[in-house]
Amino acid sequence: MTCSFFFSSPTKTLLAEDEGAVLSGCSKERQALLSDVARAFGSRRGSQFLVGAIPFSEEAPVRLFCPTLITQSGRWWADGARQSSNEPSSAPSRTSADCSSASPEGATFVDDVRAAVDAIARRELKKVVLARARDVPLTRAPDVQQVMRELHAKNPHGFTYSLSLPGGNGKPPSTLVGASPELLLSKRGARVVSVPLAGSAPRSSDSTEDRARARELLRSVKDRHEHQLVVQQVLEALAPFTRNLRCEPEPIVTATSSMWHLSTRVEGTVRDPNVSALQLALALHPTPAVCGTPTRDARAFIEHTDRFDRGYFTGTLGHMDAAGDGDWVVTIRCAELSSSNARLFAGAGIVGSSVPELELAETTAKMRTILDALGVAGAA
């Protein structure tokens, strides 16, 4: 699995062994980026696939390329993983990482949530997604293949991915790895599907308590409000491109190994067959699930508040073929792995009724996805 790009969905696996033609640009210059993609596909030696990721910042460079060596197959069966289901459990630990309020970073996050709640009370925002980053020193270089197996085994119904990052500006080369539960956009022919997630609760290893948390999440006024803000914006973003656009009338609860989420499926049919999956993904990104609403105001608040570069966290990652069909997922439950460090990311959607300590607990639970895959114990 040592490669430039790896993507596994519940039905398909795609592996790019080389980079081929590398694209430049940023998501802010959307039309220029789409034109470059069209030229790459139209060249005589052009690849039949585009793969890679778009960062959260609309001004940061994209990591997109058209590989010449690519392998496609069906569902990936990740042999050799310690875990084999998405039931909540504890992985064997080699070391520990403090992701709690006892750490200075955790205490700062609590303060940031309070500031966001105050801004929402002043009606400057409706919702904003705040993020955390934690650096976990590693005693030896991580086995990326094994980490990917663990991520897939614990979240077999999600999207497991890796992307090589070249480094630069003082940063060593690294690999972005993750197991996203959230489908930003899938396009097959004229059919378009998006499955936004928003509103979350940590899972419990006690089955009775775990089921109770799922029921509470479905009844939560705060989480239902947060979720509806995301669904509404997804519908508004897709409406100009689609007809017969519809969504489920009520959200459902879906599970990963560490979290319960509210989920709603949105479907439609594209009006113009030439509209590509990447074009639709760019129209959606960033949704309020990873940024907030209003988008411009939420971005400004995040730029002022974030104390680190999100990079590809809360961006979008995926693939597209020359016909414009493909899958793009929200780049969450992820980390950047170098030879001696793992940088973990997690975020939480903040609305007016958010409780800072509970949002911290939520982000700590989300970091467990990567910590468990690395075999690192995280603070509760």
Q: Which residues are catalytic?
A: 127, 182
| Helix intervals (H) in the chain | 30-42, 104-121, 144-154, 207-219, 221-238, 277-284, 295-305, 356-374
Two structure tokens written together for 117: 């709640």
Two structure tokens written together for 214: 């799922």
Q: Report which residue type is found at 344.
A: L
Q: Which SS3 state, helix, strand or coil, does residue 69 take?
A: coil
Q: Report which residue type is found at 71.
A: T
Please choose, from the candidates 123, 186, 155, the residue with its C-alpha nearest in 3D space to the C-alpha of residue 329. 186
Peptide bond into 181 cis (omega under 30): no
Buried b / exposed e across 264-299, counting CB within 10 Å, b at 16+?
Answer: bebbbebeeeebbbbbbbbebbbbbbbbbbbeebbb
Confirm if 182 and 332 have CB atoms less than 8 A apart.
yes
Confirm if 213 and 201 have CB atoms less than 8 A apart.
yes
The four Cα atoms 197, 198, 199, 202 give a dihedral, to 10 degrees, of 50
| Ordered strands of the 197-202 beta sheet | 197-202, 259-263, 252-255
For β-strands 376-378 and 95-97, DSSP reports them as parallel
Two structure tokens written together for 243: 């007809």
Cα distance between residue 86 and residue 290, in whole Å = 23
